[in-house]
Structure 1
Amino acid sequence: MFFTKIILATLLLSAAIAFEQKCFFPEPARDFDAYKLRGTTWYTGLQTNDAVASDIKCERAGNFTETSTGFQTDFRTFKKSNEHIDWVAHFTFLRSAVYQESKVKDDFSMTNAYTFDENGKYNSAADSIVENVLLERDFAFISDYLNYWMGILCSAEGQWIVWIYFQTKSPSLTNIAAAYNELQRLGVSTQLYASQCEKAH
């Protein structure tokens, strides 16, 4: 059932997007309030086929905490269905709904979580995204606090990096449609793929 829903959502996105356009950084119309995500847990459901996402089965985010500079959240990154890496991400507020990852605090953790595949083999393309995009570029965080929470980045080369999280490993069509509609409103044009969260424990 979940697989069918994700396939339907992916087909919907594919039909609406004739070709992938070079990205631009979206300016969210409303602020992001991490406080509203306290007590909730989110799982990747859809993401771009970037080198980092392709090596991850699933990612879980929770324990959202406001800090003096922005917010932090706990991540559990699944490399295989039953193997994971736990780490904490720290985000610094820049302007409304726009943040930057802390290079000082998160470099080692992100490298550990994202630059090795499920067999422990180093992935240079993923490492390049970590060092040149995730730790350097601005994140736009958007959420309706019910259906989706998403992070959107735009690399210097014009590549979209979009990860959409849902409050369940099996999001409903309502959840997926809400996220899709927000991407359309923002003008984000990229192919999205289903995660494998339903296989992660």
Structure 2
Amino acid sequence: MRWMVGLAVLALCIICGLLGLTAGINLNPDSTVRFVPLWGSVGDWFAGVGTSAAVIVTLWLAEVRRKEMQPKVRIVTRFGDLIVKEKRTVNVFVRIISCGGQPANVTGVSIRSPHTKQVVSLRSTVPVSTDLPANLGYGQVATLIYELPTLVALAVFVREKCGGRSNDLEICVQTTLEEFYSPIDLGIIKEIAKRV
């Protein structure tokens, strides 16, 4: 995008230079060599400017379209109970919603903190959880469910690697092209803080 602006500025400088040269020669013909660039008709100039503008707009639209077509995901985290076959368990729920122009191939989920360079990779063992890797088309959802041992592992991570600070934790969803980050739900952070 910046190169298109630079190209437009360069073209404008060249046109202004030629206009200045022509004005200088026509206003002071005695002290200069008799050379006036052939400007052509006004219609030719409008056609040239219009064509250049059309090329610039086309390149800009192509760049916008390319960015819109990138895979994007929205991440929602929640803390709650899961009841399977009359058995209630405490779980962390991570919903990954594909909202980009291309399918998102989700390959992993991890937790990171600005207080350390290390991350905790999350693996779900709950049978009703979505298996990874998961290819999500537009509007499709992957629900990952993590049991109580995951909270314990996160509490150990916060205590040993983050100095007990759990308020800045982020969840990271890895896809084949990009990583997406989202803050963790306060309910999860409170549960981690209880176990630190």
TM-score, structure 1 normalization: 0.27
Give the number of the structure whose alpha-carbon radius of gyration is greater.
2
Larger helix share, 1 or 2: 2
Higher relative contact order (CA 8 A, sep 6+): 1
